[in-house]
Amino acid sequence: MPYLDYAASAPLRAEALAAMLPLLERPAANPSSQHGQGRAARAAVETAREQVAALVGAAPAEVVFTSGGTEADNLAVKGAVLARPPGERQLVCSAVEHHAVLDAAAWAEADAGARVALAPVDGLGRVAPDRLAALLEPGRSALVAVMAANNEVGTGQPVAAVAELAHAAGAVLLCDAVQAAGLPGVDMAGDGIDLLALASHKLGGPTGVGALVVRTGTSLRPLLHGGGQERGLRSGTLPAAALAGFGAAAAAALSERHAGTAASSLAALRSRLLRGLRALVPDLEVNGTPDPVMAGPGTPDPVMVGPGAPDPTAAGLPGLLSLRLPGRRAEDLLLLLDRHEVACSAGSACASGAVTPSHVLVAMGRDPVEARETVRFSLGHASTQADVDAAVAAVAQALEVLAAAEGSRPTARAGQVVTP
């Protein structure tokens, strides 16, 4: 059963399960309790905090655990806006942010008097720092939100350059690093990031936990009130077992990055997948990341290669491949692939039931028809050549079925309308 949907959720790592089991097999203790079992649970939580901090170049005390990336983004957007007086609540977000950011910004505009501006992107999905700078209102800008790498097309963003612009305008920078925290990785301190959103399940940890990393000194209003956990920024009993899994997944992801082979291995699998699919559909188009074929035969695909490639420091996702297959509706292809037990998607899993085309692809210049012809394949820590080859074979069979169905449609006579 080839799984090529890591951008939606990564399979649980063995290291994460091993870290969780001891806490699941004994009585569940509240990490805030003062008895021995509570202290043991607290120790597991603090170990996880150190592991998550190490992954993103932060201090452990800056890690605020949440229920996932969506809550982290909401706490960042709403908390940063509410921490500023009414006249200083401007938000600037890239047009390709996750809906957890964009919808939170819409709330801030409707309910907190914020002014929201969307920074445009180019055809690869990159934010232009100069165009973003033109939208900022120095002294009145509260927050700039630019994700590390896009979850639908894989394009990396010039985070460090955006951070300088945000700080010069008196704003803080939110970087959604849910997809990029493992590979290619982020450096919170080095890139000047003030707020960093993470999700455990994208790293191979359990679902239902994540973190907002809050740089020391950043003003933030809490959204949840109660027991005052997480430095008063996020009240609620901490799930020690799930957090232990999150921490172990973060440590495993960091180890893979330090080994230096994970990114190149994923890029090679991505190139293999693209070559196989291009043989089936010669006119396919790569969304976001440039076509590695442009770089010449034998050139590895480090995600950002070819004419018009962005700054190499804004690395994209090495295992993500977003493709437009002209004339083939993604929903038809995905249905047929599912019958072959191949897991992939048309875009963000959070919008899988949406009837509107992807806002990311539209922002990049795709029209609605082209956006609905896009399929996203994403690879990760357990992906193999066998997965890739099986997926290509399944696509070949699916395309045959679609071609046969197309050929069986009746031909319209003059003046006759034939419904599909």
117 HSE (CA, 13 A, CB side)? 17
Q: Exposed e or buried b for every residue in 204-225, given b needs 16+ CB within 10 A?
A: bbbeebbbbbbbeebebebebe
Decide if 14-256 and 262-407 have a common fold.
no
Is the distance from CB of 322 to CB of 154 less than 8 angstroms?
yes
Report the DSSP beta bridge partners of residue 64.
212
Label the pairing between strands 141-145 and 115-119.
Answer: unpaired
Name the residue among 181, 317, 187, 335 with its Cα closest to residue 249: 181
What's the token pair of residue 184? 């290619």
CA pair distance 235, 278, nearest whole angstrom:
50
What's the token pair of residue 257? 């990055």
Is the distance from CB of 310 to CB of 126 less than 8 angstroms?
yes
Q: Where are the beta strands (DSSP E) in 9-113?
A: 63-66, 90-94
Whole-angstrom CA distances from 62 to 110, 197, 272, 298 are 30, 12, 40, 43
Q: Starting at the earlier edge strand, list the strands of the sheet with 141-145.
A: 63-66, 210-214, 195-199, 172-176, 141-145, 90-94, 115-119
Whether domain 262-407 has CATH 3.30.1360.40: the reply is no
> Angle at the Cα of 253 (from 209 to 72), degrees rounded to 5?
30
Out of 93, 175, 344, 350, the active site residue is 350
In this prediction, residue 292 carries a pLDDT of: 36
Q: What is the value of pTM for the model shown?
A: 0.90
What's the token pair of residue 154? 């894989």
CA pair distance 62, 342, nearest whole angstrom:
39
Q: Where are the domains of the chain?
A: 14-256, 262-407
Name the residue among 390, 375, 290 with its Cα closest to residue 5: 375
350 annotated active-site: yes
CA pair distance 255, 59, nearest whole angstrom:
18
Residues near 50 by beta carbon (within 8 Å), at least 6 away in sequence: 60, 247
Return the SS3 of 93: strand
Is the distance from CB of 140 to CB of 87 less than 8 angstroms?
yes
In this prediction, residue 290 carries a pLDDT of: 63
Whole-angstrom CA distances from 70 to 92, 168, 334 are 18, 28, 26
In this prediction, residue 305 carries a pLDDT of: 33
Continuous segment of H or E residues that includes residue 405: helix 385-407
CA pair distance 81, 88, nearest whole angstrom:
8
CATH classification (class only), 14-256: alpha beta
pLDDT in tens, the chain (420 residues): 899 999 999 999 999 999 999 999 987 789 999 999 999 999 999 999 999 999 999 999 999 999 999 999 999 999 999 999 999 999 999 999 999 999 999 999 999 999 999 999 999 999 999 999 999 999 999 999 999 999 999 999 999 999 999 999 999 999 999 999 999 999 999 999 999 999 999 999 999 999 999 999 999 999 999 999 999 999 999 999 999 999 999 999 999 999 989 999 999 999 999 999 999 999 999 999 764 333 333 333 333 333 334 444 468 999 999 999 999 999 999 999 999 999 999 865 555 455 589 999 999 999 999 999 999 999 999 999 999 999 999 999 999 999 998 875 544 343 333 333
Alpha helices, DSSP H, located in 83-148: 99-111, 129-133
The torsion of the CA quartet 271, 277, 282, 288, rounded to 10 degrees, works out to: -60
CA pair distance 212, 62, nearest whole angstrom:
8
Whole-angstrom CA distances from 360 to 132, 154, 277, 366 are 17, 11, 23, 9
In this prediction, residue 419 carries a pLDDT of: 38
Is the distance from CB of 387 to CB of 3 less than 8 angstroms?
yes
CA pair distance 398, 116, nearest whole angstrom:
43
Is the distance from CB of 184 to CB of 315 less than 8 angstroms?
yes
